[in-house]
Amino acid sequence: MKNSLDNGTLRRENQRHQGTGGVSQGNAALGFRPAFFDYARHVIYPSRFRDGRQAPFHLLEGLPEEAVAIRAPDGRVVAAKATLIAGFERNGYFYTRAAAAKAVKEWARAA
């Protein structure tokens, strides 16, 4: 599916934001949790394992059916809908990777 969110996209985003608050390792201590935002539906989906437990990193496996674009025959999520973006949830608000990185950098300066 064109422009869908898949594991390759997540890997590239992690590489682009490596060493910043735009990845889970750089922001978890400040209460950021990996999540996906569906900008067409205005819904935040926390990143979850297939069994529903909160995942400490971005993982497509636990997305609900309405957010999935392609599923493999074994049930594995191959791609999420193109209207999803990966980022972080903190205190009920969604942060893009860039916004989380900026917040972490600014908060570190203020501390």
Model pLDDT for residues 55-107, shown as the tens digit of each residue: 999 999 999 999 999 999 999 999 999 999 999 999 999 999 999 999 999 99
Q: What's the whole-number average pLDDT of the chain?
A: 95
pLDDT of residue 3: 79
What was the pLDDT predicted at 111?
Answer: 72
| Rounded percentage of the chain residues whose pLDDT exceeds 90 | 93
Q: Is 24 within the bounds of a domain?
A: yes
Give a yes or no: residue 111 inside a domain: no
pLDDT at 73: 96
Domain that holds residue 52: 5-106
The Cα 36–Cα 22 span in angstroms is 13
- The total number of structural domains in the chain stands at 1
In the sheet with 33-38, reading across from the earlier edge strand, the strands are 43-46, 33-38, 84-90, 93-96
